[in-house]
């Protein structure tokens, strides 16, 4: 069974290589150059330029890339799953669906499922890791699809950004939602709802905002003793360590999975982003009924 994902998943390049996951890189346009996310640009370089006032742009995976890659596997037949960045944040999912429909007319024996995770960054990355775990355990195609979709449905994203203007410029939230971003010492807390970025609360002061994020985790996640908590950041490891300690002291999770927000998502969220990912308290491993 073949697994595909895109760079919205914000996992290290080595992960895709080591676990036989084919990566579709979205693209970043920075200082008049185009880069492939993960493969061609270090996110730290992007954040340094953004701190200087540069505004990067991004673009989705091209139809040609999907066509060439999917067709290579379609010729062999078999089964494949593409675990996609939220359709509400990128057109990549819809492009993949369009290409897949074309190919399946030509290659009817090629079984390809495209999953809209409604997730982003390490939220999507954790879904990819779950799919790898299930594939490597020999879980059959239909059951794997069901389990991955169930896992994605219960993935929580709680995050804060230094400046909401980055998200508003890229159309990821409305400009009216960004209005409080510039107010003195106000830190926005956002979440993902049905694949969209939604402002949740505004808290005065960074430390209070981080503490409130951990409170929201407790409310939504329940018992963390068997959960891995994902944390992604916009080049801000000091805050990662601070929030890890808050989470450890309050929730005692099984462990942490930390990554830097990649260049495409970072182009919209900006430096200083801090995001936390975990499954909600309603999550249970699904079991397919025959």
Cβ pair 244, 193 in contact under 8 A: no
32 in a structural domain: yes
Return the pLDDT at 282: 94
63 and 8 in a common domain: yes
123 and 47 in a common domain: yes
83 in a structural domain: yes
Is 70 exceeded by the pLDDT of residue 168?
no
Spatial CA neighbour of 237 closest among 188, 276, 272: 272
234 in a structural domain: yes
44 and 127 in a common domain: yes
What range defines the domain where residue 260 resides?
155-279
Is 50 exceeded by the pLDDT of residue 290?
no
Is 90 exceeded by the pLDDT of residue 239?
yes
286 in a structural domain: no
13 and 129 in a common domain: yes
Is 50 exceeded by the pLDDT of residue 254?
yes
Per-residue pLDDT tens for 183-230?
556 788 999 999 999 889 989 888 999 999 999 999 999 999 999 999
177 and 105 in a common domain: no
112 and 25 in a common domain: yes
285 in a structural domain: no
227 and 247 in a common domain: yes
Give the chain's domain count: 2
What does the pLDDT average to over 138-143? 97
190 and 142 in a common domain: no
Return the pLDDT at 199: 86
Q: SS3 for the chain, per residue?
A: CEEEEEHHHCCCHHHHHHCCEEEECCEEEECCEEEECCCCCCHHHHHHHHHCCCCCEEECCCHHHHHHHHHHHHCCCEEEEEEECCCCCCCHHHHHHHHHHHHHHHCCCEEEEEEECCCCHHHHHHHHHHHHHHHHCCCCHHHHHHHHHHHHHCEEEEEECCCCHHHHHCCCCCCCCCHHHHCCCEEEEEEEECCEEEEEEEEECHHHHHHHHHHHHHHHHCCCCCCEEEEEECCCHHHHHHHHHHHHHHHCCCEEEEEECCHHHHHHHCCCCEEEEEECCCCCCCCCCC
Return the pLDDT at 178: 52
288 in a structural domain: no
142 and 176 in a common domain: no
Out of 153, 182, 217, a domain closes at 153
Out of 103, 137, 153, a domain closes at 153
Out of 153, 185, 208, a domain closes at 153
Return the pLDDT at 289: 43
48 and 111 in a common domain: yes
Is 90 exceeded by the pLDDT of residue 166?
no
CATH number at residue 246: 3.30.1180.10
Looking at 113-122, 169-178, 239-248, which range is the least confident one? 169-178
Looking at 19-33, 124-138, 157-171, which range is the least confident one? 157-171
Per-residue pLDDT tens for 2-61?
999 999 999 999 999 999 999 999 999 999 999 999 999 999 999 999 999 999 999 999
Contacts of 7 (CB under 8 A, 6+ apart): 23, 24, 25, 26, 36, 37, 38, 262, 264
53 exposure class (CB count in 10 Å sphere: 0-12, 13-18, 19+): exposed
210 and 241 in a common domain: yes
CATH number at residue 66: 3.40.50.10170
164 and 60 in a common domain: no
275 in a structural domain: yes
Per-residue pLDDT tens for 65-110?
999 999 999 998 889 999 999 999 999 999 999 999 999 889 998 9
95 in a structural domain: yes
What does the pLDDT average to over 231-247? 97
């Amino acid at each position: 069974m073949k697994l595909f994902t895109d760079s919205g998943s914000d996992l290290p390049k080595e992960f895709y290589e080591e676990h036989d996951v084919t990566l579709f890189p979205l693209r970043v346009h920075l200082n008049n150059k185009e880069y492939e996310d993960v493969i061609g640009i270090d996110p730290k370089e992007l954040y340094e330029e953004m701190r200087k006032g540069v505004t990067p742009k991004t673009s989705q995976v091209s139809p040609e890339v999907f066509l060439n890659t999917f067709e290579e596997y379609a010729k062999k037949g078999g089964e494949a799953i593409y675990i996609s960045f939220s359709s509400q944040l990128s057109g990549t999912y819809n492009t993949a669906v369009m290409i897949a429909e074309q190919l399946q007319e030509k290659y009817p024996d090629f079984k390809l499922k495209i999953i809209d995770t409604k997730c982003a960054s390490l939220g999507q990355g954790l879904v990819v890791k779950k799919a790898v775990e299930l594939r490597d355990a020999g879980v059959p195609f239909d059951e794997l699809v069901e389990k991955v979709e169930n896992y994605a449905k219960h993935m929580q994203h709680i995050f804060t950004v230094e400046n909401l203007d980055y998200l508003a410029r890229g159309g990821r939230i409305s400009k009216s939602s960004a209005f409080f971003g510039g107010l003195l010492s106000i830190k926005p807390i956002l979440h993902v709802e049905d694949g969209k970025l939604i402002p949740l609360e505004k808290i005065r002061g960074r430390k209070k905002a981080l503490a409130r994020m951990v409170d929201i985790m407790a409310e939504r996640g329940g018992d963390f003793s068997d959960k891995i908590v994902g944390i992604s950041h916009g080049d801000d490891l000091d805050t990662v360590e601070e929030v890890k300690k808050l989470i450890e002291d309050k929730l005692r999770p099984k462990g942490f999975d930390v990554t830097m927000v990649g260049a495409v998502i970072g182009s919209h969220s900006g430096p200083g982003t801090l995001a936390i990912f975990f499954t909600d308290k309603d999550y249970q491993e699904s079991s397919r009924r025959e």
